[in-house]
Amino acid sequence: MILYHTDKYKRYRGKQSQARKNNNYNQDTYDIADKYLYNPRTESIIEPLETEKNEACQLINNKWLIVTDRLGQYYYEQDGLKVEIIELGVGIPNGCIQDAPPSKYHTTHDGTDWIEDIIAKQNQISQDLEDALDMYIDSIAQTKNYDSRITCSLRAAYPNPWQQEGVTFGQWMDGCYVKAFAILAEVKEGVRPIPTVEEMIAEMPIIEWPDITL
């Protein structure tokens, strides 16, 4: 006799074994189901029912029932909230979407398509480009053994052997920011496409360091 096993959700998942006979079985006093040793809460000698996609055969009160099975799947509410299905018998609620948004900027759904938040996208891209520019400016300062753009530009604030170096760097840095903000303004106005980091850096002015003799 084949014994059909279930998982922790009492679903049949294909696991089978040979049922052991009950040596104490007496057909006059026992039910036929008692002829074999098994746990009727998690195992059955009854063959499970056939299931379709997103269905499970679940053992309830020693009977197989077909239930919706989307355990571990996700759906999205129209405001973009991602929800995991953690129970059997739960389907995709009406008005919710199973397909994930195409990007993190698609934050709402109008019932037909995901809607892209253009402002949020532009703001995030602008921040990413500004962060990349800061890193680039830091790297230029580091060619002169400064820790960062801050320590280099501070040399311009008071008389010291590297003051002119600090002044030159500060003026060049400001020129970079002016150029970068002009680029971002053109992007927001739709005048030009969003540049890559490499394309933006290529448009920055070239620094000309002063000769310093100590």
- Verify that 136 and 195 share a domain, yes or no: yes
pLDDT tens column, 181-192: 999 999 888 899
Q: In which domain, by residue range, is 88 found? A: 70-102
Examine residue 111 and state whether it is found in any structural domain, yes or no. no
Examine residue 79 and state whether it is found in any structural domain, yes or no. yes
Helices assigned H by DSSP within 61-190? 118-142, 149-154, 163-188
Phi-psi region of 111 (alpha: psi -120 to 50; beta: other; left: phi over 0): left
- pTM above 0.75? no
- Verify that 42 and 89 share a domain, yes or no: no
- Verify that 136 and 80 share a domain, yes or no: no
Examine residue 186 and state whether it is found in any structural domain, yes or no. yes
Examine residue 113 and state whether it is found in any structural domain, yes or no. no
- Verify that 63 and 74 share a domain, yes or no: no
How many structural domains compose the chain? 3
122 and 187 Cβ atoms separated by less than 8 Å: yes
Residue 27 banded pLDDT, cuts 50, 70, 90: low
Examine residue 165 and state whether it is found in any structural domain, yes or no. yes
